[in-house]
Amino acid sequence: MPVIINLDVMMAKRKMSLNELSEKVGITLSNLSILKTGKAKAIRFSTLELICEVLECQPGDLLEYRKILNN
């Protein structure tokens, strides 16, 4: 998938655990884990906004696009 989710990077920078983020954002651990591992197929803007608010970051800090090269 060319869109990479850097949630684990931002959590590490903020020294925040998945449990703590889950409590502050109000999202289940399993849903955050799916997002963190890059297995999510979509994210609601309201969820992205809450995560950015709690982690004090921009959406671009969490999402990255990498072009897939076909050889």
In a domain, 71, yes or no: no
The CATH number of the domain where 31 resides is what? 1.10.260.40
Q: For the chain, how many structural domains are there in total?
A: 1
In a domain, 70, yes or no: no
Nearest to 6, CA basis, from 43, 36, 40, 49: 36
In a domain, 56, yes or no: yes
Report the chain's terminal Cα–Cα distance, integer Å.
16
Query: What is the span of the domain harbouring residue 30?
Result: 3-65
| Tens digit of pLDDT at every position of the chain (71 positions) | 689 999 999 999 999 999 999 999 999 999 999 999 989 999 999 999 999 999 999 999 999 998 888 76
Query: If phi over 0 gives left and psi between -120 and 50 gives alpha, with beta otherwise, what is residue 29?
Result: alpha
